[in-house]
Copies of this chain bind each other. A is one copy, B any other.
């Protein structure tokens, strides 16, 4: 079985990083719970929104992301039974490409370079399962689309859903 796994919001916690950077730089107290159903930039005053949108163009934004709970253990087990690919829509952010490769080397060394994909749109991926947090990636996929829960997507209802990597393990292991 060929399984594609997204990075941001699925194995790497970009959402919380946006909040942490914003809170630090604006001396704010934003919490993930305040953002349910929205992008982080939609939860702050209008004059701060562009700053948050620009986080992903900064050097080191992707380098230091925290790991989503249990993703390492479950992906390790999955990769021993299946062809597991990391597929990240990273090409919009050229400075992120090396950072993402290094992040995977550090935290997911069992996913070899052969099984890593940095792309733009994901329409052209052929496989059995896609685990992703974005409708735009999940909708065109011809296999089984699993939406990984992130604060921004809690109100989306038209996909099979997993709230945690433990749930992914129950479904696929």
Contacts and interface: CB of A to CB of B under 8 A. Distances in A.
A118 B97 contact: yes
Contact of A117 (B98, B113, B114, B120): B120
Interface stretch (A67-75, A121-129, A146-154): A121-129
Contacts of A91: 101, 113-114, 116-118
Q: Give the interface SS of chain A, mostly helix, strand, loop or mixed.
A: mixed
Contacts of A125: 124-126
Q: How large is the interface on A (under 10, 10 to 19, 20 to 34, 35 or more residues)?
A: 20 to 34
Interface in A20-46: none
A53 interface: no
Interface string A89-111: 00110110110011001000000
Contact of A101 (B4, B94, B105, B124): B94
Contacts of A102: 94
A-B pairs, 4 with minimum CB distance: A126-B126, A114-B120, A97-B97, A91-B113
